[in-house]
Amino acid sequence: MAVYTEVPISALEQFVREYDIGKIVHLEGIEEGVENSNFLLKTNRDTYILTIYEKRVDSMDLPFFLGLMDHLANKGFPCPTPLHGFDGKALRTLCNKPAALITFVTGSGPKIITRDHCYSVGKIAGKIHTAAKDFKMSRNNTLDRLGWRKLFELTKEHANDFYEGIVEEIEDELNFLDQNWPKTLPVGIIHADLFPDNVFFEKKTLSGVIDFYFACNDFMAYEIATCINAWCFENDGGLNSGKVSSLLEGYKSIRTLEEAELKHLLLLARGSALRFLLTRLYDFLNHPKGALVKPKDPLEYLERLRYHKESDQILC
């Protein structure tokens, strides 16, 4: 989450009048994240999250994202739910951009990741995949291999100025993944961004999952690979095999992984590492001046990509 758009109080008051949520007490920008403008909105009744959807989010996708949250919440899944106004609509306009109010999820992402956290993340990923099976809408992954190519084209002119040799390294990896990417693994709706800042805990209990704005239909094992990259590496750059085992154990407690999915986990982890390397690189090179947001380090995911390339370890 982040803040790119400032909201005048008059516009906010008009927006809030569309909902039965009481009177505004306080609005505060949320600094974390990179995609949309997010605010903590407190009224005399409750606390909410106000999201203004910025340019990377296609407004045509918003009914899918908001509908998915409604669908999962109706099944008891711990996620925020969109608020519907007096007119029944969850999506409206603020500052000439699409915007929505969603419920506030308590808790916070863990600062020190343990094997118990990894088990919980694996389990909640399995719950997303199973609970979303009967969701009627679908969305293609716009950050698939074609999307990686587009990001590469947008960043390659200045990428070597950021880190010498990175253009050639990325291009080699894109070519390798194009030649080796699997075609027939099980597909479902995935969250696609289950990072520690999007999974909240209260003490040791998982309290909620937020930020569904990359959710899409893709290989379910790709979600697991993304989680391994996000949750199972240590500060020294090494992969903690115990955390990987705990994450997979949690996932398997909900859904059985097929042999082909396990076989391709290492390859999928390479692809996921490249995806986040490219999006972070793009954000770093296109950081808006004055934005209340801190771009994340692309080199963290270059190191994880290199680790997988040099490893013959099967992630299972």
Task: Give residue-wise pLDDT tens across range 246-273.
Answer: 999 999 999 999 999 999 999 999 999 9
- Type of residue found at 194: L
CA–CA separation, 266 and 149 (whole Å)? 21
Residue-averaged pLDDT of the chain = 94
Q: Where are the domains of the chain?
A: 9-103, 115-310
Q: Does domain 115-310 have CATH number 3.90.650.10?
A: no
* pTM for the structure as a whole: 0.94
DSSP 258: P
**Helices and strands (H, E) in the chain, number of each type:** 10, 9
pLDDT (tens digit, 9 = 90+) per residue, 119-144? 999 999 999 999 999 999 999 999 99
pLDDT (tens digit, 9 = 90+) per residue, 11-62? 999 999 999 999 999 999 987 655 788 899 999 999 999 999 987 788 899 9
At a CB cut-off of 8 Å and minimum separation 6, what does 120 contact?
Answer: 199, 201, 206, 250
- CB < 8 Å & 24+ apart, contacts of 154-163: 154/282, 155/278, 155/281, 155/282, 155/285, 158/285, 159/281, 159/285, 162/281, 162/284, 162/285, 162/298, 163/298, 163/299, 163/302
Q: Is the pLDDT of residue 1 over 50?
A: no
Predicted confidence at residue 216, as pLDDT, reads 98
State which fold the 9-103 domain adopts.
Phosphorylase Kinase; domain 1 (3.30.200)
